[in-house]
Structure 1
Amino acid sequence: MPITDRPVETVTSLVEDAVTAPSMHNAQPWRFVHRADTRSLALYGDPSRSLPASDPDGRGLHLGCGAALFNLRVSAAHHGWGTATELLPDPRDPWHLADVVLQEPGPAEPGTADLYPALRKRHTSRFPFSDERIPAEILDGLRGAALLEGCRLIVPGSWHSDTVLDLVRDAELFESADTALRKEIASWTRTGRAGEGPATEGIPSYAFGPRQYGVTAPARDFDALHDLPGRAVAVFEARPQIALLGTMDDSPADWLRAGQAMERVLLQATLDGVSASLMSQPLEWPELRSLTREPGSLTGFVHMLFRFGYGPRGTATPRRPAEEVLTVE
C-alpha cells in the first residue's frame, strides 16, 4: 500500500506491530501520535505507566519504548517503506522520545525487513532451557545485531558470568526486603483474582513459568507474592547462558538506542531458534548495576541482561489495542 493511500490505516498497522515489543512488567509505557495528512509518527513515553519503585529514573521505560520504536522500523521496512528517525526531538519535552517519518522506498536498513516474521513469535521464556550450548556463529550474529544499533553485546566468561548470576540473587534478596517494590510488581501481575488491573497489560499467570527446583537460572518469579496453587516445579539449566547489553554512556538517548538493540537481538535470536528471557533485577539497584560491568570492557553501562538457550519460546502476553495507544490529530 503506498504511503499516500489511507495513511491512518498504514500508521495503525505499524503501531500494531510496534506494540508487540517487550516492556518492564509488560507495562507498555508508550503512546503514539500521528498528525493527519502527514507521514510522521511521534513516540511518547507514558508517565502514567512508569514504575517508580523498580525504575525511578525511567531507564527501563526508555528501553521498552526503544524496543517498540525498533519494531515500527521493522514493520515499515517489511512493507517497503523507509524511515527517518530522530531521537528526543524536543528538548522542552522529555517524554517526546522520537519522531519517525515514513519515506518512499529507498536503500533498506541491513537485515531489518528480514526480522519481520519474528515480531509475533518473540516471547519471553521463563521456562527451563536445555544444556545445549549456543554455537559461536549464532552468538556472533547476536553481537552484530547489537552493533547495528550502536550497542555492544557481551558474552561473559565463566568468572564474569558467575559474578553476574550472584548479583541477580543479591538483587532478589534486596527485592524481597523492599515492600514498595514487591507491591509494585504484584500490581502488574494477573492471576484472575478480583481487584487486579486490566487483562490487556501486565504479566499473566500462564507466563510465570514453573517454579525452579533449586535456584540456578536467573528467571524472575512473578508468583512470589501470589503462591498460585498447582503451579509446576521444574529443574532449570545448571549453567545459564547469559549476555549483557551495554553502551559507553548512560543518557536517555543511550537508553533508547539500547532498547532498539535489545529488540533487534531478541528478534534475531528468535529467527535463529534461540529462546530468551530478560533480566533487569541487578540493574534496578545502583549499587549492583555498576558491578555487572566487566572490568576493562568498552561497555561503560549495562542496560539489560539476557538469558539464552534452547527450550520453550514462552507464550504471548496481552497487548493493549492500537486505539488505546494511538492518537490521530
Structure 2
Amino acid sequence: MANNYDAWKVSVTDFEEQKSDYDKLLFFLRFGILAPSSHNSQPWEFQIDVEKLSINVFKSKVRVLPVGDPNDDLSYVSIGCTVENIVVTADYFGYTVSVVYEENPQIELCAILQFTQDHSKSIDSSHLIHQIKRRIVNRGKYEQRNLPDEFLEKIQKFSTTDHKVVLIQDSQTIADIGKIANYASIQLMSSYLFRRELSTHVKNNFTESYVGIPAFGMQIPGILSLIVPNLIKLFNMDKFSEKQNTALFTKYTPEIIVLTSKNNTKKDKLIIGRMYQNIALNAISQDIKTSPWGSVSVYSESNKELQKVLNTEFYPEFLFRIGYNNKDPHHSPRLLVNSVIKK
C-alpha cells in the first residue's frame, strides 16, 4: 500500500512527542513540506544544524524543471512557500525564526533559518498553522462575487518598498490578463520538450508517486486520468482548451492578484513565495481559494505584456486567481520529510 499521502497526517498535537531539538526542527519541516510547488515537484531539501538550532534550505538538484522553469523562477517561489510554512509553524510553538536569504543563484542554498524559543505556545484557534493542511490549489470556476474588503485590505498591507501586491478587479483587465496567460500556456505547450517534461509530472488518479499532480487536481476523472499523461505528451492540450480557459477568466474569475518585485532576483522570488503562501493561508481561513498560473512567470514575452497591462516598472513574479469555490480536490501527494533531509 502506497503511503504517498501520509505526509498530510501530521497534527499539531504530535509536537508534544518531540523531545530533542532535532526532532522539533524536523517536526517544523513536516508542516513546511505541505507547501505548494510548481507541478508538485517539491524542489526543496533541508539540512538541520542542532548546535546552531537552524535549518539550511536548499534547492534540489533533482526535483526541478529544466525545460518548464529553466531559470528556477517557480522553484524559488515554491521554496519561499515552504519557508513561510516553517516560520508559521515555529511561531505557533513559541519560536521566532530569523530568515537570511542566499542571493547567489549559482548555488543551491536558498535560506538559513535561525530559531529562537522566545515566547509561549499559541492558544489562538485562528493561528495560520491551522490553515496549512486546509490550503489547496483550486483550479475550478470561482463564483462571481467580490472578496471581503477587510481581507483585501489585510493582504494589500503585505506590500513593501520592493514587493507589491497588485489586486485586479476590473473585468476587462482580468480578461486581458486571461488572454496573456492563455497565450503563455499555449506557447509553452507548443514545445515537445516542455510537454514531455510536464507529462512526467501529471499522474493518473491512482498514482503511488510521491511527486507530481494527480489528474483530479485538474478536474479529470479516474478512468480518463489513465491516458492524460500521454495526451499531454502528444498534443498541445492548452490549444484545445483555449476557449474553456478564456471563459475561466472572463466568467469565473472575479479577482486576480499579481505579486511583483522591484529587482527580480533569487531573493525576491523567495520573498514572493512567502507572500503568496501567507495570502493563501489567510484566504483559506475564510474559505477563499487560490489558483496560480505559472506560465506567465516563465514565458518572458507574456511577462512583459503583463507588465504593460499592470502599468508598472516592477517585475510580475507570480499571478494567481482568487475567489470562492465550494468544491475542493484532494491534496496532492508529498515526499515524506526524511527523504528531503540532506545528510
- Secondary structure of 2:317's aligned partner: strand
Aligned to 1:131: 144
Alignment correspondent of 1:96: 109
How far is 1:84 from its partner?
1.3
Deviates more, 1:54-63 or 1:132-141: 132-141
Q: 2:43 aligns with which of 4, 17, 29?
A: 29
Matched to 2:188, the amino acid is E
2:232 is equivalent to residue 225 of structure 1: yes
Q: Decide whether aligned partners of structure 1 residues 205 and 78 sit closer, same or farther in structure 2, where only a CA change above 3 A counts.
A: same
Aligned to 2:336: 321
CA contact (8 A) 2:39 2:212 kept: yes
Is the alpha carbon distance of 1:107 and 1:302 closer, same or farther for their aligned partners in structure 2, counting shifts above 3 Å? farther
Q: Report the CA distance shift for 1:107/1:79 in structure 2 as closer, same or farther (over 3 A).
A: closer
Distance apart, 1:173 and its partner CA: 2.2
Contact 2:216 2:329 in 1 (8 A): no
CA distance in 2, matches of 1:93, 1:8: 29
Say which SS state the counterpart of residue 282 (structure 1) adopts: helix
Is 1:120 the counterpart of 2:133? The answer is yes
What is the alpha-carbon distance in structure 2 between the residues aligned to residue 159 and residue 166 of structure 1?
11
User: What is the aligned partner in structure 1 of residue 215 from structure 2?
Assistant: 205
Taking only aligned residues, the RMSD between alpha carbons, in angstroms, comes to 3.2
Aligned to 1:20: 34
How has the CA–CA distance of structure 1 residues 126 and 299 changed in structure 2, closer, same or farther, with 3 Å as cutoff?
A: same
Name the CA shift for 1:223/1:243 in 2 (closer, same or farther; >3 Å): farther
Cα separation, partners in 2 of 1:238 and 1:223, compared to 1, 3 Å: farther
Deviations 1:74-104 (A, max 9, x none): 0100111111110007x59621101111102
Taking structure 2 as the reference length, the TM-score comes to 0.80
2:258, 2:319 within 8 Å by CA — same for their partners in 1?
yes
Alpha-carbon shift at residue 314 of structure 1 (Å): 3.2
Stretch moving more, 4-13 or 291-300: 291-300
Kindly state the Cα deviation for residue 47 of structure 1 after the two structures are TM-superposed.
Answer: 2.1
What residue identity is the alignment partner of 1:42?
N
Match of 1:164 in 2: 177
SS in 2 for 1:293: helix
Separation (CA, whole Å) in 2 of partners of 1:50 and 1:248? 25
Change (3 A) 1:305 1:51: same
Read off the aligned partner of 2:65 and give its amino acid letter: L
Quick check: 1:275–1:313 contact (8 Å CA) kept in 2? no
Q: Is the 2:43–2:78 Cα contact (8 Å) retained in structure 1? A: yes
Give the distance between the partners of 2:289 and 2:22, measured in 1 at CA. Answer: 35
Identity %: 17
Counterpart CA distance in 1 for 2:274 and 2:216 is 27
- When structure 1 is superposed on structure 2, of 308-317 and 38-47 the one drifting more is 308-317
Indicate which of 137, 143, 153 corresponds to 2:165: 153
Query: Could you say which residue in structure 2 is the equivalent of 1:278?
Result: 292
Q: 1:78 aligns with which of 79, 89, 92?
A: 92
- Larger deviation, residues 248-257 vs 158-167: 158-167
Structure 2, gaps ≥5 residues long: 1-14, 222-227, 236-243
CA distance change for structure 1 residues 60 and 96 in 2, over 3 Å: closer, same or farther? same
Aligned-partner Cα distance in 2 for 1:143–1:54: 30
In the TM superposition, residue 243 of structure 1 has moved relative to its aligned partner by: 1.3
- Structure 2 match to 1:176: 189
The Cα offsets for residues 282-305 of structure 1, whole Å up to 9 and x where unpaired, read as 222111111112567556111111
**Residue 327 of structure 1: CA displacement?**
3.3
Distance of aligned partners of 1:191 and 1:287 in 2 relative to their CA distance in 1, 3 Å threshold: same
The Cα of 1:266 is off from its aligned counterpart by: 0.7
> Would the aligned equivalents of 1:208 and 1:222 in 2 still touch at CA under 8 Å?
no
- Partners of 1:139 and 1:102 lie apart in 2 by 31
Runs of 4+ in 1 over 3 A off after TM superposition: 221-224, 233-237, 294-299
Q: What's the TM-score once normalised by structure 1's chain length?
A: 0.83
